[in-house]
Amino acid sequence: MSDVRQRLRDIPGMDIILSYEWIQTWLEKLGRMRVKRIVNQELADIRKKILESEENRFIDDDFKNSCLSSFAFASRPSLTHVINASGVVIHTNLGRSLIADEAVKAMCESAGHYSNLEYDLKAGARGQRNSHVEDLLCALTGAEASLVVNNNAGAVLLALSELAKDSEVVVSRGELVEIGGSFRIPDIMNLSGAMLKEVGTTNRTHLYDYERAISEKTSMLLKVHPSNFRIEGFTASPERKELAVLAHEKNLIFMEDAGSGLLVESEILNLPSETSIKECISSGADIVTFSGDKLLGGPQIGGIAGKKNLIARIKKNPMARALRVDKVSLSGFEATLRLYAQGMYDSIPTLRMIRRSDDDLKTHAEKLAEELSRRINANIRVIEVEDAAGGGSCPEIKLKGWGVSLKHKVANAGHVQKLLRSLEVPVLCGARDDEIVIHVRTILDDEYETLISALEGVMNA
């Protein structure tokens, strides 16, 4: 025990550590409080190790090297540019959709200057931020009115809170899904004050199931986008038009959480299982909620489109202010909608990536492989791959793609992937048969040189 106490006493105090010459530069770069937090964590780790084993003790050089590594890591932005070589277009963990150049420009303009966010320039009086996008969104969806909030979970929560609080909402058991981040439909409904009424079975729900469930307490029939969840085989579910007719016959609201936010016909993206917001509206949905940063290809927002009288109620709900979208996202969303209105689909990165032709992908893979072969000592091949739309959209549909596989002469694929993730500009890629796989669909034109240099450094090591 006395030896342990001595080894703990050998650890220098904070004042002494902060006086070391090697730490002075970091005090200037990170600030005294940040440096102290990092040093305290390093010291806590050392004390823990000393208490765990008599072999451990404070060593000046080891402590210095560990602190310098932690300081260097802390000096870099936590949110950083990543090269997505996975082939997943709407990659939830990598920020979902990239946004169009026009939207980026609009967002920078909004962030760096004052704007008429809530000011009516014509009237010279207070305005509404939603007015900047409502007409555009209605024109593209066929809705009578619309509202945007900060994300789709907020849109669902707000709509249910206003339209179904303290009443029953009928939902098929097959649509009570949980998606990323533990977003569960039953939990959102409970939070909104609506009462869930499940009907049907996991794989089969019929129109008569909904009809039998309707009571004097019912206010809404709700249809939910299944996201990454799909049931195949012996299944059944009523058409949205049938649900709309039933709801309206019973004087109920028919609401649909459309999820992915598709604003064009599914044929344009060759994703037949996705339904556009416009189709939901034309099929009779009174309220449709959706995301802005999935198939829509814009910044993160939650859209609510539908009947004018219902949207008016939702706009007046106190929760609408708590969930309102910020000026930067709103300006990017407006710019994205304008591209849709002009039919400039390939100016929207998400749509462009999904629509890329087989020949284009193969050509880019061949050029990448050719350049890599000149600079890397490894087994390099051009191969066919399976890409994905991502973001919970059409998980059953694989996008035919092309990529480049590389096999390190010594290291296994998992280790190579780890090394690529540790770079200043990390690279995330696939792997199979102990080879890493670079999917070209999701690589931007201005990323290729950085990618090639990264692969050269890792594969030749």
**Tokens for 442?**
């999701």
- Rounded CA gap, 311 and 308, in Å? 5
Write down the residue that tokens 């909104």 correspond to: 192
Write down the residue that tokens 């770079």 correspond to: 423
Domains (range + CATH), the chain:
2-75 (no CATH), 83-91+352-459 (3.90.1150.180), 100-347 (3.40.640.10)
- pLDDT for residue 43: 95
- pLDDT for residue 364: 98
This prediction has a pTM of 0.90
- pLDDT for residue 232: 65
- pLDDT for residue 266: 86
pLDDT along the chain (461 residues), means of 10: 83 94 95 96 94 87 94 92 97 95 98 96 95 97 98 95 96 78 78 91 87 95 77 76 96 94 90 89 97 96 98 97 96 98 97 96 98 92 95 76 94 93 94 94 97 95 80
Quote the crossing angle between the two packed helices 448-459 and 413-421, to the nearest 10°.
130
- pLDDT for residue 180: 58
Bridging pattern class, strands 178-179 and 218-224: unpaired
Helix (H, G, I), strand (E, B) or coil at 340: helix
Helices (H) and strands (E) in the chain, counts: 20, 17
